[in-house]
Amino acid sequence: MARKCPISGKGALVGNNVSHSNRKTKRRFLPNLQTISLLSDSVGSIRMRLSTNAIRTIEFKGGIDAFLKGTPARKLSPEIRRLKRRIEGAPDRA
């Protein structure tokens, strides 16, 4: 599984560890990915691996349904576009 958030697009970055003597060795900066279950009104529970930044954005927008309905499809990854089509096509479970 790639270390990349499908919502925000955050991925691994490359940099250097710099010692006191100024030696440089390669290192990776990994995104803070969390596996969470989001509750959708129309589809039910969805498990995703998202960055903490994306989790905060989804909560701020009012949940995964509201976030996906308000975001244009061209800004989403193919995996999330499929989820958006599922949510828009499904009747509300409430």
**pTM exceeding the 0.85 threshold for the entire prediction:** no
Encode pLDDT of 31-87 as tens digits: 999 999 999 998 999 999 999 999 999 999 999 999 999 999 999 999 999 999 999
pLDDT of amino acid 6: 93
The pLDDT of residue 89? 84
What are the tens digits of pLDDT across the range 4-27?
999 999 999 999 999 999 999 999
| Cβ contacts of 49-58, under 8 Å, gap ≥ 24 | 49/1, 49/5, 49/6, 50/5, 50/6, 50/7, 50/8, 51/5, 51/7, 51/8, 51/10, 53/5, 53/8, 53/10, 54/5, 54/7, 54/8, 54/10, 57/7, 57/8, 58/7
pLDDT at 90 over 90: no
